[in-house]
Amino acid sequence: MFLPFFDHTPAAPKICGITTAEDALGCIEAGAGALGFNFYPPSPRSIPADGDLFWIVKLKADYPDVAFVAVVVNPDEALLASLGRTACFDAIQFHGDESPGFCAAAGSRFPQWIKALRIRSKLDLAPALAFETPWLLLDAAVPGTYGGSGHAVDWDLAAQFVAAHPEKRVILAGGLNPSNVTEAASKVHPHAVDVASGVESSPGVKDPEKVRDFIAAALA
């Protein structure tokens, strides 16, 4: 199925860490190209995978052109099976220490899969080409976290990778907010940008004004 987020560059931003239908609707109405739903329990933005996910299923049915992404960290079979049964996720995003082989096998159960890389130096980008997907998300490497830290990636490093590997569709994350996303996008030229904490009033709660400002700035 044609989805603008995966087929257009630059794509409308991905807003990650959605925890309620109200926040999801606000982001969609503001022009988000993709929504990220976090299934990593230690995160303040996590959704219980064994809970009622019907609200996500219904939203996907109502807004089929918006990409829905399940964000996971070192997922087990039970989680993968639970997410697969919903049949509402257009992609799964591996944000942990998953190997290329694991991602290829588990990712094949979804229409698309994304691998997130936490980077501080060129050495952190060395494994990137081992992942058999065009979709790479570059996030900041912060000890003890798997993303959502609010720390920025080295934009110059990210830009060098994007320029050297046009076959990859890079999604830029890490410390983005309404005041810096225009500069980040102009320097890096990513496929899309991704934000969670940069558009929140508190962890897991989106600020509608920040969301609107972020999306407008990202597409400026």
Catalytic residues: 16, 139
Q: Of 182, 90, 167, 176, which Cα lies nearest the Cα of 136? A: 167
CA distance 22 to 15: 13
Backbone φ and ψ for 115, nearest 5 degrees, come out as -110, 125
| C-alpha neighbours within 13 Å on the C-beta side of residue 45 | 28
Q: Of 191, 216, 175, which Cα lies nearest the Cα of 114? A: 191
